[in-house]
Amino acid sequence: MSSIPTSSAAATTAPLTTPSAAGAPGQRYRSKTLAAWLGLLGGPLGLHRFYLGGLGDPWGWCYPLPTILGLWGLHRMDLLGQDDHLAWVLMPLLGLAIATAMLQTILIGLTPDERWHARHNPTLVGRADAPEAGWPAVIAVMLALVLGAGVLMATIAFSGQRYFEYQVEEALKISQ
């Protein structure tokens, strides 16, 4: 007699390490905690999007370009000083890329586990042994909130200050 169970209940309680545990063959398990931490640490480069959607994710490719341009603006500001107009335009791109990545990290981390599994791990829906995100995802959300809010406020303050300074300079040129 064989010791292999033949009931359908055994198929629904298969360990998560099997190749088909996350869905169709070839579909891998996607961790909400890992996605949140990738968004926090590598979000401006789109690492969280590539983790969830693969390299074919078009939204993932929207992150590296503004990040690189913003870093170039930061480098120009360091080399040429605050009077470099191109750096004024490029630096806010970095701030917006970071703030957008932090917002997505918050959304990833606050997604309920059932909804997360329904979207990214369909065969885990309703299973008692489906993993829960827990505190590591909550900590990533808290750090993303602090970092994202700080970067967004700094970006708005920098952009506003540079805009009004430019307006004053142009007004002085006209009045002379």
Q: Alpha-carbon distance 98 to 42, whole Å?
A: 9
What is the C-alpha radius of gyration for the chain, rounded to an integer number of angstroms? 23
pLDDT at 3: 44
Q: Alpha-carbon distance 114 to 107, whole Å?
A: 14
pLDDT tens figures, 63-115: 999 999 999 998 998 898 877 888 888 888 999 999 999 999 999 999 888 88
What are the domain boundaries of the chain? 28-175
Dig out the tokens for 23 from the structure. 């869905």
Dig out the tokens for 110 from the structure. 């606050």
Q: Alpha-carbon distance 71 to 50, whole Å?
A: 21
145 Cβ neighbours under 8 A, 6+ residues apart: 102, 106
Task: Find where tokens 């969830």 sit.
Answer: 52
pLDDT tens figures, 117-175: 888 888 878 777 777 888 989 999 999 999 999 999 998 998 888 888 888 888 888 88
Q: Alpha-carbon distance 140 to 38, whole Å?
A: 9
pLDDT at 26: 57
pLDDT tens figures, 12-57: 444 444 434 444 555 688 888 999 999 999 989 999 999 988 888 8
Quick check: 31 and 49 in contact, CB under 8 A?
Answer: no
pLDDT at 41: 93
Would the pLDDT of 1 be above 70? no
Closest CA to 126 of 9, 11, 26, 12: 12
